Every structure is written in structure tokens, then in C-alpha cells.
Chain A
């Protein structure tokens, strides 16, 4: 036991004096959580306004064109600004970056609202959307869909009114000006009690926590390489210290560091993010909290084992920093830390299955967003523990090979 205490004390002192390592473990993820939570605040909120301006150039001037504009104003997630009175003004507004989209309502739009193109032998000019080429294609499609929906409602209104007039039916006053109710409502399925969708903070805290936990690779590798290069490992071996003790001497301190990281990141999510205007992190309670900790422990084992493997492979601290750092960034990019997995195309989502960070993040989400239990997190836990055991076995093998 005296040996283990000496090893733990040594690792703690070494880490405490490694200011760069501490910054990578604690400061970096806190900054990432705060910045990314605020930056992606609206991206996770259904119905949040989209920060894109559009304008309408009305070349028709009919009451129907005005009603189309009113429909878009009432239901569009985009923000309407003045676009001028003609095409040239609309183009200019896009070119100077004031507007991203301009809807051009052609002359004769109102007259030919219910006439399919060419059905009376005359062509019907189409609604035109002028757009900024740098605009996200998804936003372009969303805008077109909203125009199509508004146009459909306008035509339905017009048909209803004409039919009522034709059949002599009375029509409730003010109907033309009414708002149509939202016909499609998004509801995030979380659990039976709570139907709130995941917020930005609930994506970002576990994501950057997993990322930060894997950054123990830097201090673990630094100390390990100092030990190997300086002959300290050789000396410890000659003192009869078994490799198992050596390993335990490293696993526990960095496991504790990982748990401290978890505590700090959760507190930042719960207490600091709301101070900056974001939504507070909601942690599971009771048994959910226990499973959350089990996932944190499994991620930690994977992270420390990965760190030991990198330390065993690298010859110098610089090599370990590069291999560990780039490896972590790749695992993070693939695993949904930087870009949430659901935003990735299908191929990338399949690739993400290979990232240990994705296993940890998915398990956290199972508990935090879907109130999952052991059966839901078991696949992720199994993968993380297998990864940890494999990495440890490889680390031991590489070290054995180097000392012989």
C-alpha cells in the first residue's frame, strides 16, 4: 500500500506542477462549453428564429401579393427587411450583403393565382427567389418550402372565397385576415414527464467533457516518457515494483482527475451557462445519476488506457503531444463532439461508430435525454471497456518489448 500511496502522491504532485496539462484538462473544456453552448444556442431550439434576412420585390402590387407577403410575415422563421421596388434594388441588396434572399412576385401574380400555367394559352410568370450564393442550401430549401406553403394557403383561401360567392354562401367577416394555425408541431421525445427538447448545453457539456477526459493523454504521456527516457522505469523495476502497481499508480490519480473534470464541467453547465443567458444543464436524478457516473467512469478508463498506449508508442513528449492531440481531435470530430452526430450525413454517422468518444457521448445522451438505464448504456459501456482493455494490453506489450 505504501508503494501505491507513493505513486499516487508523485503523479498528483507532477500534475499539479504541470500548468499546461492542467489548462488542457480544465480550462480548455470550460471555454469550449461556454463558447459552443452560446454559439449553438439557437441551433437546438425548435422554432427559434433563423438569423437570415429576406425581402420581397412586389412587381404585381395586387391584394394577393400583399396577402402572400403577410402569410410569410406571419409564419416564416426568416426575418423580413425592405428590398426596394424593383429587381435591380433586390439584386443590389443581396450583393451588398444586406439580404440573403429576395422573393420576386411577378406582375400578374394576383390575376393568375388560380390559373395553372398555360391553361388559358398564356404563360404564367413564376415566383422567383434571388439568393446569396453563400447561403446554406438547407436554409434555401426551407425558405422555398415556406413560400410554397404560403402560396398553397393563399390559393386555398381564394378558392374558398370564390366558391362561397358562387354558391351564395355567407362568409365570416375578417376571415381573409385570419392566421392559419401551425399545422406541424415538433415535439422532442425525451421521457413521459418531460417533453423539453435537448438544449445546446445538454449537447455540449457531455461532449466537451468526454473530449477533455481524453486529454489526460498529455500529462500521462509527459510523465511516462520522462520516466522511460530518464531510466526511472528501469530503476523502479530494479526496486521490485511490479508493472501492475505501476499501472495502478497511474490509473487511479487520472481517474480521480477525470471525475473532477466531470464535476467542474457539470457545475459550469448548471451554474455558469445560465449566467451568460443560456439554459441550465439538467442532470438526471436518483439512479440516473448513478448510471451517468458509471458512464463517466468507463470513459475515464478508456481515456487513461488510451493515454498509456500513446505514451508507450511515442519516443518523445513532442510525439506524444502530436499523436495524442491529433488522435483526440479526430475522435472528437468523428464522435459528435464538435458537430453533433445527428447533423452528420449517414456515412459519417456510420464512421462515428468507431470513435470511443461517440460511445461515451451516446451513453451520456441515453441517460440525459432519454432517461435510459443500464440496458440502454450497456453497448457503449461494453465498447469503452473493451477499448480500455485492448489499449492497456497493447501498452504493456509495447513497454515489455522496449525494455528487452
Chain B
């Protein structure tokens, strides 16, 4: 269990804090999602967990031990896969892996075997002797991930790992990442792509302006007690709204709280009788974008 306790940090020259008393508990054996718009503090939090940034206040512990202590005992325990292509374009794929394996102090025979495993895991065997600068965007992302896995980390920090890749590579990366907890590597996955987080994370936190807005299981966050209707052809008659307790929303949408099967059936019957066409009906579930908008009144992509 990774626990982040009241973490605060402000970059020099910035008036707003990048992290503002941020607290979070990240369980083991999962792909944990950190979702938030650009500037929410995801990368700063990841950098603090990776040990490359010293936050001004707060503490991070892994299984109750301070991170510095964990890292001192095993510096391969936590691995960072930065947002950019953090390797050497002028070196080949294998040379890059050999270099980072050397930095992780992997010994000769073990090093070669681990490099081969990582090449196979990331499907990079065919391009192992190509220079990294000649790889496509998707293959570069795979190499970035493979380097992160060299030391068999307990915790892998992935910072926006699918930015700028084609759909096929994205699918491959997401599948590979989702399989990591089974191999003993917990994952913290940051993204501003809600579809990705929704696809591979069972637990997640939504960040904005350096704070945690909401944290919990994906199911609990998406569960919705509200029913949302979208109707065609202008506003509903006030009498109908009053009878069913409909609250007007944006763009001809109406919200209905705690709707049961019977009340929903009655509403649909009245709409049909009044000749009002229904454009959309959402009941019991919402997506992460809607969760974020309901919390901040802003879109995730703003």
C-alpha cells in the first residue's frame, strides 16, 4: 500500500501550488488510475513518488516505510516511465536496454536474460538492433515501457504512456499494462484519457489543481443515482416536469433523482402520450467525463 499524506509543492516562480495538501492511498496489486486535466498535478505527484522531486511538505510511505528507506534498500523497487521518450535516440533498442540495465546494476547473465524478456514482453524483438530514432511513435512508447520493467519493479509509475500513439499500439500498451499486476508489479497510471483509465483501472483518483477531488473504485465513482433524459424539440411542459420531479439541465436535458422502475415507466408513458421524442436516457451509470464535469463544471480536456 502506497500512502501519500498531505503532500504540498509549489514550483519556483509559480503562484499556484502544483500539489496542495494531497492525500491518497494506493493499494497493491492493481492498476491505479490518476485522472485529471493538464496541470492537475499528476506528473508532480508521480515525480515525488519516483523520488526525483522533493516536495516541500508531506510524506509518502510504501507499506508503512518512508520512500527514501524503501529506495535505499532496493533501488529497483519503484520505476518511472516518464511522459517523454526517456532514452537515447542514437542508440539501438538493445543498446538502450543494456545501458539502463547497467545503471540498475543488473549482472551479466541476468542482464542479458532480462533484456530478452523485456524485448519479448514489449514485442520489440524484431527491431532490437534498430536505432531508437528510427522507430515509430508506438514502438518508442513500447521501448519506454520496456526500460521501466527492466528491474522487475514492485511499483511502476506510468506518466501518460500512450500520448501520440496509433490505436493499435495503444491497445497493445493497455493490454500489456493491465497484465502487469498479475506478474507482481503494481501500476500507477496517469492519463487525461478517461477511456483508458476506465478500461484498465479498477481503482482511481481524480485530481484537479493539486488536490484529490474524488477517489475510490471505478464502479463506485461511475454509479449514479440520477437519471438523465435528453429530449428533442424544446422544453418539456412545466406540468410534466412538476409531476415527475424533473430538474432542467443543459441542452434539453433533464435530471431525475432516485428514479425507480415504476416512476421511470410512468414518465416514459407520459412522454409518449405527449408525443415527445427521447434522444437519450442514462440510468444508474455515468462516465468519468461526466463525473469530472459534475465536480468542477469543466471538461477533462480543458
Distance in Å: Cβ of A9 to nearest Cβ of chain B: 7
Residues in A with CB closer than 8 Å to B103 are 3, 6-7, 236, 239, 241
Residues in B with CB closer than 8 Å to A14 are 88, 90-91
Q: Is A95 an interface residue (CB 8 A)?
A: no
Would you give the 0/1 interface string for A235-261, flagging 1 where the beta carbon is closer than 8 Å to chain B? Answer: 111111100000000000000000000
Residues in B with CB closer than 8 Å to A79 are none
Q: Is A192 an interface residue (CB 8 A)?
A: no
| A-facing residues in B1-43 (Cβ within 8 Å) | 11-12
Distance in Å: Cβ of A218 to nearest Cβ of chain B: 14
Inter-chain CA distance A230–B88, complex, in Å, is 9
- Asked whether A239 lies within 8 Å of B91 as measured between CB atoms, the reply is no
Residues in B with CB closer than 8 Å to A237 are 51-52
Inter-chain CA distance A18–B89, complex, in Å, is 12
Using CB atoms, name the residue of chain A closest to B56.
A404
Inter-chain CA distance A230–B79, complex, in Å, is 16
- Asked whether A17 lies within 8 Å of B90 as measured between CB atoms, the reply is yes
- Asked whether B53 lies within 8 Å of A403 as measured between CB atoms, the reply is yes
Inter-chain CA distance A236–B75, complex, in Å, is 11
Inter-chain CA distance A9–B83, complex, in Å, is 26
Residue of A5, A229, A234, A239 near B75 (CB, 8 A) is A239
Residue of A5, A232, A239, A404 near B87 (CB, 8 A) is A232
- Asked whether B86 lies within 8 Å of A234 as measured between CB atoms, the reply is yes
Distance in Å: Cβ of B129 to nearest Cβ of chain A: 13
Would you give the 0/1 interface string for A271-310, flagging 1 where the beta carbon is closer than 8 Å to chain B? Answer: 0000000000000000000000000000000000000000
Q: A2-B102, A13-B95 are in contact. Are A234 and B90 (CB under 8 A)?
A: no
Using CB atoms, name the residue of chain A closest to B12.
A404
Would you give the 0/1 interface string for B85-127, flagging 1 where the beta carbon is closer than 8 Å to chain A? Answer: 1111111000100111111111100000000000000000000
Interface residues on chain B, size class: 35 or more
Q: Is B80 an interface residue (CB 8 A)?
A: yes
- Number of A-B contacts defined by CB within 8 Å: 88
Residues in A with CB closer than 8 Å to B85 are 230-231
What is the interface of chain A mostly: helix, strand, loop, or mixed? helix
Using CB atoms, name the residue of chain A closest to B147.
A235
Using CB atoms, name the residue of chain B closest to A1.
B105
Q: Is B137 an interface residue (CB 8 A)?
A: no
- Asked whether A232 lies within 8 Å of B88 as measured between CB atoms, the reply is yes
- Asked whether B102 lies within 8 Å of A238 as measured between CB atoms, the reply is no
Residue of A3, A223, A234 near B47 (CB, 8 A) is A234
Distance in Å: Cβ of B64 to nearest Cβ of chain A: 21
Residue of A18, A231, A241 near B86 (CB, 8 A) is A231
Q: A231-B86, A239-B75, A240-B75 are in contact. Are A13 and B12 (CB under 8 A)?
A: no
| B-facing residues in A7-23 (Cβ within 8 Å) | 7, 9-10, 13-14, 17-18
Residue of B50, B85, B86, B104 contacting most chain A CB atoms (<10 Å) = B86
- Asked whether A9 lies within 8 Å of B99 as measured between CB atoms, the reply is yes
Distance in Å: Cβ of A274 to nearest Cβ of chain B: 38
Using CB atoms, name the residue of chain B closest to A403.
B52
Using CB atoms, name the residue of chain B closest to A16.
B90
Q: Is B84 an interface residue (CB 8 A)?
A: yes
- Asked whether A238 lies within 8 Å of B99 as measured between CB atoms, the reply is no
- Asked whether A230 lies within 8 Å of B100 as measured between CB atoms, the reply is no
Q: A13-B90, A18-B90 are in contact. Are A234 and B102 (CB under 8 A)?
A: no
Distance in Å: Cβ of B33 to nearest Cβ of chain A: 20
Inter-chain CA distance A159–B79, complex, in Å, is 99
Using CB atoms, name the residue of chain B closest to A18.
B90
Q: A13-B95, A403-B53, A404-B53 are in contact. Are A238 and B89 (CB under 8 A)?
A: no
Supplied contacts A234-B86, A235-B100, 18 more A-B pairs, CB within 8 Å: A2-B105, A6-B99, A6-B102, A7-B103, A14-B88, A18-B90, A226-B88, A229-B84, A230-B85, A232-B86, A232-B88, A234-B52, A236-B103, A237-B51, A238-B52, A240-B71, A401-B12, A404-B54
Nearest 3 A/B pairs, CB to CB: A6-B102, A231-B82, A240-B75
